[in-house]
Amino acid sequence: MRRIVLTLARTPLGMIGGLLATVSGVLILALAVLGGLGFRGGPYLGIFAFLVLPGFFVLGLLLIPAGAWWERRRTARAAETGEAPGVLPIVDLNDLHTRQVVLVVAALTAVNLAVVALATYKGVQVMDSPSFCGSCHSVMDPEYTTYQRSPHARVSCVECHIGPGAPWFVKSKLSGAWQLVSVNFNLYPKPIPVPVHDLRPARDTCEHCHWPAKFVGSRLRVLTSHGDDSANAASKTVLLLHVGGGETPRAAGIHWHVASGVEVRYLADSKRQKIGTVELTLADGTRRTFTTKDGPSAPGPDATWRTMDCIDCHNRPSHIYRLPEREVDDAINAGRIDATLPFVRREGVRLLKVDYPSHAAAREGIRKGLAEFYAKSQPADLPARKDAVEAAAVALGDIFTANVWPSMNIRWGTYPSFLGHDAAPGCFRCHDETHATADGKTISQDCGLCHSLLAVAEKSPAILKQLNP
């Protein structure tokens, strides 16, 4: 061991390599132990520990033989000048000292391989973590923020964007390499265009948890909204959603589109908002083709065929950008905005729709605008309601910063949801009574196919009293 140290000390490259390998190896092991004990330092520490440090570790290992080669070359040159030439080392395992050196080198090599393997494994873990995916703040901050507010907040990004299997893992890393370049050189578009056309099919990802046979029957949904009057009057809309689905020939309802034996193909523009031709194939082999004049009629640079799956309706399953009216209603329902503040719903929506240049400007503008409104309209009550007004301003600021990113040109409605037909055409992209077969059969626009309206904007719906007397 002493000779190895002395040999490394005689070669600058070997000495640097030994120091790099030793220091980075010790740091990797130390950080791995700290991680095992529950220490969490954020995504950047993980990137440093299991992506940057392993690079230095491997570089150090490579510099050690490079230093030995350099020393051999220096010795050879010295011999050319008359000095005794160097000789190849003789490895005699009968010699006790040689055996000890070989065993030490073998043990250190095993430790090095273990460190590299651990760093590689932990590096993959770090790269697959949601915090790593969201670490590119300028690009991914909107997606990461909306993901954290979504129903899939406890599902890691890779489970949906990559799924199981090596081919898609490799494909994602190759794609990520270009994304790294585009982020560093500001080559990415603002906003990021959707949909993602090379996304893995939903049957390989979504249907690991949400398979068609799981959705059978109908489900009750109650939507509470508020008016723009001084009392912010609450009203309720009650829907019976015909979720449907199943894997039998009698499958019906919303998820009938992906039921067993049913295949729907459509020709649409690049944003999948205008659908020209729809091909329906039933379990018995029946095929129908529906066409319309409002969409693309043939494949081309801006029109492609696609087989329908979950993402065609649930196009924002995790990265959900909501509209201001629904957000304010939900904030009032949750108590984050005091419903007794006169006109707070109307003023909140109005202030949210102002075109602010940044999140900081939005928070300040909303706070100032709300305070000025109540100072003018309710001057006598403002001192007593100051805390409620401030809390409402904070809640409105949170709503804005969770849905709008001026730096990425993301505004209200930039990324509409196709789940329904309020904010975007959604269902009506096909169910519009204009898509027809050659013999005149159309794709129905009958609302009863998807839901039954049990109450619409009623203050106290009778159906709810029946369900909860």
pLDDT of 212 > 90? The answer is no
pLDDT of 291 > 80? The answer is yes
Burial class (CB in 10 A: 0-12, 13-18, 19+), 255: buried
Cα distances (Å, whole numbers) of residue 434 to 290, 296, 441, 442, 443:
9, 14, 10, 7, 7
- Which of the two residues, 7 and 433, has the higher pLDDT score? 433
Cα distances (Å, whole numbers) of residue 184 to 48, 119, 180, 258, 379:
18, 25, 6, 41, 51
pLDDT of 10 > 90? The answer is no
pLDDT computed for residue 51 by the predictor? 64
Can you tell me the distance from the alpha carbon of 65 to that of 17, in angstroms, rounded to the nearest whole number? 9
Can you tell me the distance from the alpha carbon of 120 to that of 437, in angstroms, rounded to the nearest whole number? 56
Structure confidence at residue 47 as a pLDDT band (50, 70, 90): low
| pLDDT tens digits along 249-286 | 566 788 888 888 889 999 999 999 999 999 999 988 89
Point out which residues pair with 252 in neighbouring strands.
Answer: 245
Of residues 369, 374, 376, 379, the one with CA closest to residue 338: 374
| pLDDT tens digits along 60-78 | 888 878 877 777 777 777 7
Close Cβ partners of 250 (under 8 Å, ≥ 6 residues apart) = none
Distance, CA of 162 to chain centre? 11
Can you tell me the distance from the alpha carbon of 437 to that of 130, in angstroms, rounded to the nearest whole number? 46
Structure confidence at residue 431 as a pLDDT band (50, 70, 90): very high
| pLDDT tens digits along 239-256 | 999 988 666 556 678 888
Close Cβ partners of 378 (under 8 Å, ≥ 6 residues apart) = 342, 385
Can you tell me the distance from the alpha carbon of 464 to that of 274, in angstroms, rounded to the nearest whole number? 38
pLDDT of 4 > 60? The answer is no
- pLDDT > 90 in the chain, percent: 45
Strands 275-281 and 287-291: antiparallel
pLDDT computed for residue 159 by the predictor? 86
Q: 341 φ, ψ to 5°?
A: -75, 120
Of residues 131, 158, 154, the one with CA closest to residue 43: 131
pLDDT of 41 > 90? The answer is no
Q: How many residues does the chain have?
A: 469
Can you tell me the distance from the alpha carbon of 454 to that of 451, in angstroms, rounded to the nearest whole number? 9
pLDDT computed for residue 407 by the predictor? 92
Cα distances (Å, whole numbers) of residue 357 to 361, 362, 366, 408:
6, 7, 13, 11
| pLDDT tens digits along 94-153 | 888 878 878 887 888 778 777 776 776 677 677 677 877 777 766 889 999 999 999 999
Kindly report the pTM of this predicted structure: 0.75
Cα distances (Å, whole numbers) of residue 165 to 119, 171, 195, 196:
21, 11, 23, 20
User: CB of 54 within 8 A of CB of 24?
Assistant: yes
Of residues 314, 320, 311, the one with CA closest to residue 202: 311
Close Cβ partners of 212 (under 8 Å, ≥ 6 residues apart) = 245, 246, 247, 251, 255, 258, 259, 260
User: CB of 247 within 8 A of CB of 259?
Assistant: yes
Cα distances (Å, whole numbers) of residue 196 to 1, 269, 312, 418:
57, 13, 12, 15
Distance, CA of 144 to chain centre? 6
pLDDT computed for residue 76 by the predictor? 74
> For the chain, percent helix, then strand, then coil, each to nearest 5?
50, 10, 40
Close Cβ partners of 354 (under 8 Å, ≥ 6 residues apart) = 362, 365, 366, 369
The secondary structure of residue 192, as a DSSP letter, is P
Most confident of 127-131, 181-185, 281-285, 392-396: 392-396
Can you tell me the distance from the alpha carbon of 330 to that of 182, in angstroms, rounded to the nearest whole number? 37
Of residues 351, 384, 350, the one with CA closest to residue 367: 351
pLDDT computed for residue 87 by the predictor? 53
pLDDT of 1 > 60? The answer is no
| pLDDT tens digits along 448-464 | 889 999 999 999 999 99
As given in the structure block, the two tokens for residue 389 are 């007004």
Structure confidence at residue 58 as a pLDDT band (50, 70, 90): confident
Helix and strand numbers, DSSP H then E, in the chain: 14, 7
Can you tell me the distance from the alpha carbon of 431 to that of 7, in angstroms, rounded to the nearest whole number? 79
Can you tell me the distance from the alpha carbon of 383 to that of 198, in angstroms, rounded to the nearest whole number? 56
Q: What is the chain's mean pLDDT, rounded?
A: 85
Can you tell me the distance from the alpha carbon of 465 to that of 236, in angstroms, rounded to the nearest whole number? 12
- What are the start-end ranges of the H helices in 152-213? 157-161, 166-184
pLDDT computed for residue 216 by the predictor? 73
pLDDT computed for residue 251 by the predictor? 66
